[in-house]
Amino acid sequence: MNQSYSSACGTAIPRYPKYILTEHVLSVLTTCVNITATYCLLYRSPSFMGKFRYVLLYHLLASTICDLFLSLGTIPVIMIPFMVGYSIGVLQFVDPYYLAVMGFGLVGLVVSTIVLLFAYRHYQLLPSFHKHQLSKRNKRIGFVLLHAFIFLFSVPAIVTGLFDQNQMKNELASQIRSSGGCVPAELFQPYAYIGMVSPLPVLIIAAVTTIVCLGVCGYFVLSALFYLHTQIRHIEACFTSDDDHSIRLALVQIAFVYAQLAIE
């Protein structure tokens, strides 16, 4: 028996049957909901949604893949408060390093689609002559850069794979024993994967990514709100004038703004 078990809490490894059953039920439910939503988007959504339906479809696809990966493929067991976990799903025999990289990458993909949803729906409010309108080339560049940056979620898992897992597990076990705790038996099973001894790198990347995502969303949201505010100011100025032409212009602007809000 591995010497590191000498200070273990126990040699029995729990199986969590209720947890597995719950995740399997959730995987079926979420798949049914996502399939129904996809059908509604493709065949029942109004025509004025335009290309926004495809952004929603992209988000649904990413969410479905991530849901199935987590609730059916891996069913991760996280050994809180340690950065250690293992899989009890149908993919439990896959190298945990690859599971960790794919898991972080899929979470990053879902975050990317959420940012696109917020940015695109407010970007659509801006008219074609607005200074913040982007060319097709810049849209493609922004799309690629957004995904590349948010995929930084995968960096901790990729970097950790460069180190010896057994050595990292022994170091963590030594830290636990030195603090007076007992070492969980799950730590030394072959499919257990230790992310990092310290969660600090993950927290830093998560904080930076959150700030960037909020900045991208805030840029387009504020641009749309500022444009609408400017239009409302113009309408107010036209109605305060006695000129019939100005009043008719105000009515046209009202109709234009209302149509944009309806599409948005």
Residue-wise pLDDT tens digits, 37-58: 999 988 888 877 778 888 899 9
Record the pTM: 0.75
Over 90: is that where the pLDDT of 247 sits? no
128, pLDDT greater than 80: no
**What token pair was written down for 120?**
């695109």
How many domains does the structure of the chain reveal?
1
Q: Give the burial string for 144-155 (b: 16+ CB within 10 Å, else e).
A: eebbebbbebbe
In a domain, 206, yes or no: yes
Domain contains 42: yes
Q: Which is higher by pLDDT, 246 or 229?
A: 229
Residue 93 has pLDDT above 60, yes or no: yes
CA gyration radius, the chain: 26
In a domain, 109, yes or no: yes
80-85: average pLDDT: 77
Question: Per DSSP, what are the bridge partners of residue 8?
Answer: 183
| Structural domain contains residue 245 | no
71 CB burial (10 A radius; 0-12, 13-18, 19+):
buried
Give 184-209 pLDDT, tens digit per residue: 778 878 788 877 656 677 677 778 77
Residue 233 lies in a domain: no
- 101 within domain boundaries: yes
- CA–CA gap between residue 138 and residue 141 (Å, rounded): 5
pLDDT at 24 over 50: yes
Residue 169: phi, psi to the nearest 5? -65, -40
Distance CA 175, CA 152 (A): 28
Q: Is residue 112 part of a domain?
A: yes
In a domain, 92, yes or no: yes
Q: How far apart are CA 259 and CA 264, in angstroms?
A: 9
Domain containing 15 equals: 3-225
